[in-house]
Amino acid sequence: MVDDRKLDVLRAIVEDYVATEEPVGSKALVERHGLGVSPATVRNDMAALEEEGYIHQPHTSAGRVPTDKGYRLFVDKLATLKPMSMAERRAISTLLDGAVDLDDVVQKSVRLLSQLTRQVAIVQYPSLSRSTVRHVELVALTPTRVMVILILSTGRVEQRLVELDAELADTDLAELRAAVNRVSAGVQIAAAAAAVVDLPEAVRPEQADATRAIATVLADAMSDHRSDERVAVSGTANLARYGDFDTAVRPLLEALEEHVVLLKLLGESGVDAVTVRIGHEGPYSELAATSVVATGYGPQEFHLGSLGVVGPTRMDYPGSMAAVRAVARYVSRILDEGNQ
């Protein structure tokens, strides 16, 4: 049975442990929080909490430390989001409003998030596969060299260089450009890729070769999942505050190099729903000492990407959750504005 006071005790333990990084004992607990009961009572509660697996004693003569299960209960039942201070809100909006392009938005958000939370922040670039094609531009750099530029609804731009076997007249290029845009503008990227590869059959024979070359590259760019894996990371210096280097910092540093791993960590939480993954709950056993606080972002509740922070299980969940949500909302808003 977990009654109210036991929850209070758990909350106090989590808060103290997060603040001090040291196992917390019954006496310190009643002193620092106005629990209104004696240390002995708290000890009884602690024994019960330990029995049920919410806290744990590193060794007999030490205080208690929350377990992953304990943090989970804390997050689910106890954590009320810390409201962002006015100054913080202002910092977010002025910083992000000044962003000039998509890259800039991502860079600035990730930086901001790491500063707000003093954790490692991760922001995924808006997913390529979920966006639609806004425009395709073909630019002849030389008569046999065409730069293909793909502009997506998110503001993302991809470019590729194509070498042609034969020269392509400007008028042909213009025709081709029109044709490509006809079948792909406004269309989801995967569908556009499919439509584009069918193009060569629809054009005049003398354009077929060039069209085929360009269509191939374009389809390739549209289905290039490499760019789906782009993420920005900031705040690795905050890892320096970690206690145990080998079990906590090193695996995390390694994970941060692997963008695929990062994306899996972030997961796919819905827009406006902050997900918390605590220690072993995550997919990687090496990261059993780290937690992830993440959420999705995108205009109109449409999931375009994820962002979040990673840190030690012993982290400030309420604060991180609030910051993650606040930044995600601003990013969503900005993407929305750029898109109208």
Partner DNA sequence: GGTTGGCACTCGTTCGCCCTGAGTGCCAAC
Partner DNA sequence: GTTGGCACTCAGGGCGAACGAGTGCCAACC
Is residue 318 close enough to count as binding DNA by CB under 7 A?
Answer: no
239, interface contact from DNA, its own copies, none, CB < 5-8 Å by kind: its own copies
Q: Tokens standing for 311?
A: 């840190």
Q: How far apart are CA 180 and CA 331, in angstroms?
A: 31
Q: Least distance from C-beta 3 to DNA, angstroms?
A: 9
With binding defined as CB under 7 A, does residue 23 bind DNA? yes
Return the one option of its own copies, DNA, none that residue 101 interacts with (CB less than 5 to 8 A, by type).
its own copies
CA atoms of 58 and 61, how far apart (whole Å)? 8
Question: What does the alpha-carbon distance between residue 157 and residue 128 come to, in Å, rounded to a whole number?
Answer: 10
Residues in contact with DNA, counted by CB under 7 A, come to a total of 25
From the list 50, 137, 175, 281, which residue makes contact with its own copies (rule: CB under 8 A)?
Answer: 137
Answer yes or no: are the C-beta atoms of 269 and 295 closer than 8 Å.
yes
Task: Please report whether residue 139 would count as binding its own copies according to CB under 8 A.
Answer: yes
The whole-angstrom separation of Cα 65 and Cα 61 is 13
Asked if 101 touches its own copies (CB under 8 A), the answer is yes
216 sits near its own copies (criterion: CB under 8 A): no
Cβ-contact 340, 42 below 8 angstroms: no
- Distances from the Cα of 165 to the Cαs of 178, 209, 229, in angstroms? 22, 8, 33
- Give the x/- contact pattern for its own copies in 161-190, rule: CB under 8 A: x-----------------------------
Q: Which two tokens stand for residue 58?
A: 């590193």
The DSSP code for 303 is -
Out of 2, 7, 28, 185, which residue is the one contacting DNA (CB under 7 A)? Answer: 28
Return the residue of 19, 21, 53, 62 that touches DNA, per CB under 7 A.
62
- Which residues are at the interface with DNA (CB under 7 A)? 5, 23-28, 36-41, 43-44, 46-47, 50, 57, 59-64
